[in-house]
Amino acid sequence: MEPNEAQELQEQAEHAEHESTLRPVAFTMAVLAVLVAVVTVLGHRTHTEAILDQAKASDQWNEYQAHKIRSNDTALTSDLLGVVTIADKDAAKKIAKSYADHQAKWTDELKDDKEKAEVFEAKVEQAEARANRFDLGEALLEIGLVITSVTLLTRTRIYWYLGIVFSLLGIASAASVLFLK
């Protein structure tokens, strides 16, 4: 065996030793990449949920406004009937009673519409809070992944440990969604 071949084998052995010590780092990076993908999808779905709930709240407020406008129009017409002289008093009383019945019905509907809209708005706030936690978790996991990858370049394990710390913070942020009300 020539001296060059022996030196080459020694270098290959040292290279293989370095690679075996970096396997946990590479595995950590693969796991972090999967976690980033999962948290990203959960964040996107939560943002979509917030948008859909906001649309429902807007629709409900529009319905509330429509009932409110009809109620005001009926009140104005009812007031007008009270000051205008009408030849057929029975017909006027019948119309006034009909308007009063509508007013009572719309008062209840206005209350229900407002409550429904407020429920949807509360759902929007909850979804946005969850989405913010997922976004923070995603960012921290990505930071952890990048810092961990620096380990492969520098062969210094401190970056691996630092990446794991950021990743654990990201996982905690994403998992904290379970504790939100």
Containing domain of residue 156, as a range? 29-179
172 is a domain residue:
yes
Number of structural domains found in the chain: 1
> Whole-angstrom Cα distance, residue 105 to residue 103?
5
Query: 51 or 93, which is more confident?
Result: 51
1 is a domain residue:
no
pLDDT over 70 at 75, yes or no: yes
Q: What is the pLDDT of residue 93?
A: 73
92-113 tens-digit pLDDT: 777 777 777 777 777 888 888 8
78 is a domain residue:
yes
Q: Which residues of 92-104 are buried (b: 16+ CB within 10 A; e: fewer)?
A: eeeeeeebeebee
pTM, entire model? 0.72
Q: What is the pLDDT of residue 110?
A: 85
Query: 16 or 53, which is more confident?
Result: 53
| Number of other residues whose CB lies within 10 A of the CB of residue 170 | 25
118 is a domain residue:
yes
* 89-154 and 157-175 helices, crossing angle to 10°: 170
